[in-house]
Amino acid sequence: MTENLWLLGDIFDFWWEYKSVVPAGYVRFFAKLLEFTDNNIPVYIFSGNHDIWLKSYLAKELNVKIFHKPLKIELQNKQVYMAHGDGLGKGDYDYKFLKKIFTNKFLQWGFSKIHPNCAFKIASSWSHSRRKKEKYPSFKSLANETLYQYAKEFNKKEHCDYYVFGHRHIPMKLDIGKGSQIINTGEWLSQQTFACLQDGQMQLLQYKDGKIQEYPYPNPEENPFLSRNLKTDN
């Protein structure tokens, strides 16, 4: 069986590539990815809203493939739609506007002229400021979940078996009709959740107490770890 690893974005809180400077840190993480690719296990990385500036460095050094857009792909005879999830669906116009600024070539050129120490200080403080103090993201209802609605709408026009996203930090595995499911891989830092596609079936899993188990709350409406009243954090 062909194994491969898909990282769905926001792998870095902030990432920027210079011609001759590499951001400090991440050595063990990079070594692990290299271990995968050196052993012919392909690694695919989507850029997220925190690391949209991933360019060719990781692709060259670690032999990984980077995607900047959603991808629809057949895996194990299933149609799988994957994306980080930022900016998809209705609303979030502030972010959609910001994304235009973030991806503006002239502004990127200007930012790259700032000394790396200053540039990272500015970007990291801003990136951190977006993170709220609460440990778990807020959740109101599925009706308010843009990616859930997006997948449902998309599936009316074009069928996929699985819609897999990150971004929201809310682990989720739900039916969306026509035999399709949406899966949100959640996040790694506090809940250690991820998805696994095996024999054509996708599972939402959690690494807990040294073991891998099925995540007990695939429906966020029943998840006690989500905060109900606070603002979103993604």
Taken as a whole, the chain contains a residue count of 234
Part of the chain binding Mn ion (CB under 5 A), chosen from 63-71, 144-152, 162-170, 180-188: 162-170
CA 156 – CA 168 distance, rounded (Å): 23
> E strands of the chain, at which residues?
5-7, 43-46, 65-67, 71-75, 78-82, 162-165, 172-177, 180-184, 193-198, 201-208, 211-214
Q: Interface with Mn ion includes 167 (CB under 5 A)?
A: yes
Q: How far is the CB of 178 from Mn ion (least distance, A)?
A: 27
Q: How far is the CB of 39 from Mn ion (least distance, A)?
A: 29
**Binder among 43, 48, 155, 165 for Mn ion (CB under 5 A):** 48
Q: Interface with Mn ion includes 171 (CB under 5 A)?
A: no
Maximum alpha-carbon separation in the chain: 52
Q: Interface with Mn ion includes 168 (CB under 5 A)?
A: no
Q: Which residue is nearest to Mn ion (CB)?
A: 167
CA 84 – CA 34 distance, rounded (Å): 22
Is the separation of the CB atoms in 215 and 206 below 8 Å? yes
Part of the chain binding Mn ion (CB under 5 A), chosen from 6-14, 125-133, 176-184, 219-227: 6-14
By the criterion CB under 5 A, which residues form the site for Mn ion?
Answer: 10, 48-49, 86, 167, 234
